[in-house]
Chains A and B, each alone.
Chain A
Amino acid sequence: MKRALPGLIALLSVTTLLLSVTADADPRDIAGPPEPATPEMIEARRLQQAADIATLLPRLVGKFDVEGVFGPESPRPMTATGKADCVAIGAGPGVQCVFHVVWGMELQGQGVNVRMGSSFLAPAAYLFGFDPNEVVVRTMQLDTSGVAEDMPTTINGDTLSWCKGDMGDFCYKAYAPPEADSIQVTLYVGVSKVQMLNLRMQRPTKSAPPPPRTSAD
């Protein structure tokens, strides 16, 4: 008890100090709600988002071989392999990507092969488009179970990020630099952003250009 007393006193002191600081704070110092966006600001944001989506999304279009690792930071990472097919929707910047990527471990015993681990990208579809009303990029995921989720999406330079969960529990980041033959896709999980999945989407032949953007078919 005697040992705990100084700690308790210190804690009370800090609490008191914090309370006094809060009480003395000028209410004008507390940030109020953000200023409402003016029509000019909204229009500028709309144009920027439209330009970003028109620049980045077409880089995703094409057929890819996919290789990577599930659980790269785990003690037993698993190899992931598969394919991805991203199609343009008409002449616009909208894109849909279908992944069919599996991972797991082949365990052999008594003549029977058992695959451990299950993929949530076998298949999974992602539809990307631009919401002009809210001036944001939108992504809808259809996962392996056929369950649909809306995923808030942002574009930052050459990186497209789309997240599942209000707190960004699952966040995909696709790094697609211009004229690159491959796209790096990483799935981060949780607040600490642990890498769950690291994929490299590679165009099958280096010289193959992206298909013409004329039709979704």
Chain B
Amino acid sequence: MKPLVRSAPFLLAAALAIAAGCAPAPRTFDPDAIPEAYRRPTGALMWPGATRAFFVTPEGDLYNGEWRVRFDPSASGSLAGPPRAIAAEDRWLPVLHWTRRAGDVRFEFEAVAAGSPRDSNLIVSLAVEIVNGGTAPVPARLAVRLEHPGAAPVYVALDAPPGLDAPLRWAAAGSKQPVHAWSDGRAGGETEREASWTLRPGERRRIRFAFPAYPMEAGALGAWARSPHANRVTEARAYWTRILGEGMQLALGDPEVERAVAAARVILLSCCERHGERWLPIGGPFHYRDVWLRDGARAIQALALCGHTKVARELTRGMLAFQWPQGAFLSQRGQLDGTGQALWLMDQALMRPAPDDSVAHFASAALAAWEWLARQRTAGRETGTAFGTMMPFGDPNDAELARAQLVGNDAWALAGYAAAARLLRASGEIAAAAAIEDSLSHYRDDFERALARTGRPDLPPAWQPVGRDWGNLAAGYPCMVLPARDARLFALADRVWASAGGAGLTWYGTRDSLHYYLGADLGTWALLAGRGAQADSVLEALLHWRTASGGAGELFTREGEFGVNLPPHATSAAALVTLVRNSLVFDEGDTLRLTLGARTSWWRGARIAHAPTRWGKLDFDFRQEGNAAEWRWSPVQAWTALTLPPGTRVSGRLLPPLRAGASDREVLAPPGTGGARVTLVTGNR
């Protein structure tokens, strides 16, 4: 396919350069110049498959849930302050930098994680450069101590030994016991290393450390550390460049968005744990180091959408561990949305860009899950109650925070029905698929009747008048249980956004507590409902609330205080990836939708490559030049809906084979079309 946009090769090259780790060299990289949205800086040193990670604390220490590595840098007897920011290179590449200052002396930290090929450990290579930026000689000192976390740790690793009081040791000559740290030959006792210098003006000194997430044999750690820190950094840059290069490529001419997506992909890939042959998606690298179907489903979808197909499918296989004998999927007590989510994630991961060879295996699991869902409805119908045809009550201890029949459970069950039908159809079980589609139709009717029975104009959290908004917010997208332009969905979004002060992040629990991903689905819904500006407000909020390393929290105050709910959160990363991807390429339903939410700046010329869709992999260019919008894309066997640039509409008559779409901002191209040009006029009717 010939690229439409003349500058597209350059843009793509630029994007690949971003993905290729062409970040500024470490010493020209000033972490304090990188924006940090939260009140306290944090960082995560993590690795795909590893079962622990290191948290870079706001004080600039390291903590892995079992022990802390405390750094005490000082100059002229004064302790250095905490870092202002803990930044990834270009705010995405996970080589972390932070600076601590004591007078004129800077302590410049650079740290990178690397996985262990043999087990689920990871090792952090960390270098500190001590620089005298002043004009006079200064005595400087760096003490590094291994410590137990104290009485109230911010979190405890689930696999930490009882008591958190096992002896901690630095590697030393002749060490026989497992060790927790290595440094390049500085003096100190069993748990401390220390170095001091008198630095001339402009003089630099450097110390190197290695920290495993689990204790290691001293010899093995020493051997690992024989590879210089610079090599470890180079290896990490190359690794992440290669991995991100395997998936979808974005060249939007908008580095902030491109880097935000890259950072989110790093987080999603790093929040995968390997348990033997099984891979599982975890909620986060620290205190949420566990599997929730509701979070894992989002992570798997996001990975699938941005082309990490193999990883998404491995994770999907891992999720089969959560199927119960009666057919249901459940990861946490009382969270009955898990079955619908499991079915949905299978469809998301296995059907793009083409059905996976193993789809029949998953289809049988899906059939059992659907049968369980159907039994729930049958049993409920027998009760004869007003909402008997909806899912039975759940008590999730979370989310809606109520014991009730939850609307979100039904929304996800409906999404699960649709997914199960697709999986069965793809595996050749046409009769079973048809039976599910028939039952889906009845379930949708029952759902709409139940909504009418609530007497409310929107979708409540629960069929009983209790609970917080949660699963109901997923009804428009991704569950798609009502048409996007259904009045109830408008009423729901308006209610939620009005109480939050406008479209953007929503709140949870109290109005002061912003929730990063809870309302992100409303962003995609807004795209589908023709509310592009509101969708863009959601994207803007997601872009704003990121750390200097590109991750996002889950719950935090409007001032950016996250308490002990530590960033990054995998579902937050998934929310950002999904909204950006849906703004460009949306492939649910029978129509491919392009540029649904493309920002004005992207219309200067953008290219998306290797985007997996339900009709295969898609390459796609678009741009606005003067009063014309142009698209070129890999032709698909479906109608393609093209959304015009913001603030424009079609001028004059469309040239065949294009047709008018559902609004004056949309045109339709028939199956097999690979390009379109539309004359524009400013303004909407």
Verify that A and B bind, or say they do not: no
Instruction: Name B's A-contacting residues (CB within 8 A).
Output: none
